């Protein structure tokens, strides 16, 4: 893709002075129907993917969610951040967990695992749209952290109504039944500085033969370590290990969310641990960043280019995403809830307005100069009509640094689903195979 072909349509002017977003000005200006409340969210956006058990309902079943949303609609519970929203999901998740326990007691490990994963999916939607514990828990009902993990959070009590804690617990039950079990570990954050916390929680799965090629999977704004079972199975089926890590400002991540350099320290600690662990082929380390994780996949491709053989940035926002003009309209686009309050908190801002005013200068990979330097192989994946992270952000990367590779899907929304994975996995295989011992 030639860089000159994208500049005239993506960078010409600002609001009121001629900018034409590739998604189209009508779509850019529009407020999507699902923002009109829980009934609209269910009927216009979430019901269909739920019937197909696809994101964000992967591993789940429609029959688990239909009565929950009927209850939410009947009781006019529209605020996804409220305890009433979260608590509506818990009885179904607890029932599925109990059924999984019964199946396990009867020796049916496959049924037990499936039921546990269904419970995890219910807990996942319960703790939507966003949680973080840095520098403090943003929503105690959606998430509780064990007291020993972060002493700053001593005031939060662990109760059955804490969705993320419960999700992780039931995920561990499912994972214990798999041929390649899950390791839920915390490693030392050896490069921690400033306000970074001192340990990094990771999920690790490895194939029988070691040392193995490995994928460092960087999660997104609302999908965390227990939400990537299918991807991990894909890696293991190819003889690759996987290390799953959350990104700064989300879930259990210990990196200082307000410090734009904290991810570099985070990934240095993770890669150092992987090297010392001995089970990973450090010549064959691939990175895959999902959605908000795509930003970090682009960044690590430059900052740690000598340590990773390639990186996939799927649905990445690196510069234009932080543009105030974009952010003024993003809350009306495809994200199921309000996007900017979550993003402001994720980046360490106290208010949405402060985030809109200051985030581009502080975090943009163009403003900070990161993308102007050389990189490892970098694959960019997205849909051309992405309303969360504009496709302009992926296209502009061709104008800077090393040559890039890409697959953009015309007419597709954020992440380029459902077509994207058919391009990602073959690329990963080719990169792994290209390494010579």
Contact 94, 101 (CB under 8 A): no
The residue count for the chain: 437
Q: What is the chain's alpha carbon radius of gyration, rounded to the nearest angstrom?
A: 21
> Residue 138 burial by CB count (10 A; 0-12/13-18/19+): exposed, middle or buried?
middle
Comparing CA positions, the residue from 170, 136, 129 lying closest to residue 154 is 136
Helix (H) or strand (E) holding 422, with range, is helix 421-434
> Which residue among the candidates 302, 333, 347, 414 is catalytic per the annotation?
414
**CA pair distance 320, 112, nearest whole angstrom:** 45
Is 414 catalytic? The answer is yes
**CA pair distance 249, 306, nearest whole angstrom:** 26
CB atoms within 10 A of CB 395: 25
Comparing CA positions, the residue from 97, 84, 91, 223 lying closest to residue 141 is 84
Contact 427, 405 (CB under 8 A): yes
- Bridge partners of residue 188, in order along the sequence: 199
Is 113 catalytic? The answer is no
Contact 300, 266 (CB under 8 A): no
> Which residue among the candidates 311, 386, 393, 394 is catalytic per the annotation?
386
**CA pair distance 274, 282, nearest whole angstrom:** 8
Q: For helices 262-277 and 292-303, what crossing angle results, to 10°? A: 70
The helix/strand/coil state of 203 is strand
> Which residue among the candidates 262, 269, 291, 292 is catalytic per the annotation?
291
DSSP letter at 351 equals S
The helix/strand/coil state of 406 is strand
Is 292 catalytic? The answer is no
Which sequence positions are flagged as catalytic? Answer: 291, 386, 414
């Amino acid at each position: 893709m030639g860089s000159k072909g994208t500049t005239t349509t993506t960078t010409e002017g600002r609001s009121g002075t001629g900018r034409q977003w590739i998604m189209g000005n009508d779509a850019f200006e529009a407020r999507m129907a699902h923002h009109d409340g829980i009934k609209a969210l269910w009927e216009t956006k979430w019901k269909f993917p739920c019937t197909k058990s696809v994101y964000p309902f992967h591993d789940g079943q429609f029959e688990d969610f239909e009565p929950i949303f009927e209850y939410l609609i009947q009781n006019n519970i529209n605020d996804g951040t409220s305890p009433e929203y979260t608590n509506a999901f818990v009885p179904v998740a607890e029932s599925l967990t109990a059924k999984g326990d019964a199946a396990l007691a009867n020796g049916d490990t496959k049924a037990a695992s499936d039921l546990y994963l269904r419970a995890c999916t219910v807990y996942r939607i319960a703790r939507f749209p966003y949680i973080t514990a840095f520098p403090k828990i943003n929503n105690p009902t959606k998430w509780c952290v064990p007291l020993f993990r972060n002493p700053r959070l001593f005031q939060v009590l662990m109760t059955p109504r804490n969705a993320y804690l419960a999700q992780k617990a039931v995920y561990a039950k499912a994972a214990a039944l798999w041929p390649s079990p899950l390791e839920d570990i915390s490693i030392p954050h050896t490069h921690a500085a400033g306000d970074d916390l001192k340990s990094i929680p990771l999920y690790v799965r490895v194939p029988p033969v070691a040392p193995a090629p490995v994928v460092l999977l960087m999660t997104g704004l609302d999908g965390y370590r227990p939400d990537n079972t299918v991807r991990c199975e894909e890696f293991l089926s190819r003889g690759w290990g996987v290390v799953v890590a959350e990104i700064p400002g989300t879930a259990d991540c210990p990196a200082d969310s307000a410090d734009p350099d904290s991810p570099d320290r985070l990934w240095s600690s993770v890669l150092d641990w992987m090297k010392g662990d001995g089970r990973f082929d450090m010549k064959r380390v691939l990175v895959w960043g999902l959605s908000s994780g795509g930003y970090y996949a682009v960044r690590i491709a430059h900052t740690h280019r000598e340590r990773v053989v390639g990186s996939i940035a799927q649905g990445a926002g690196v510069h234009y995403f932080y543009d105030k003009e974009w952010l003024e309209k993003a809350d009306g686009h495809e994200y199921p809830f309000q996007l900017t309050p979550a993003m402001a908190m994720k980046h360490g801002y106290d208010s949405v307005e402060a985030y809109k005013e200051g985030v581009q200068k502080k975090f943009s990979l163009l403003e900070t100069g990161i993308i102007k330097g050389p990189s490892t192989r970098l694959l960019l994946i997205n849909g051309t009509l992405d309303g969360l992270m504009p496709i302009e952000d992926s296209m502009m990367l061709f104008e800077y640094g090393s040559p890039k590779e890409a697959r953009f899907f015309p007419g597709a929304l954020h992440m380029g689903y459902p077509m994207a994975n058919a391009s990602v996995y073959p690329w990963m295989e080719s990169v792994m195979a290209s390494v010579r011992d």
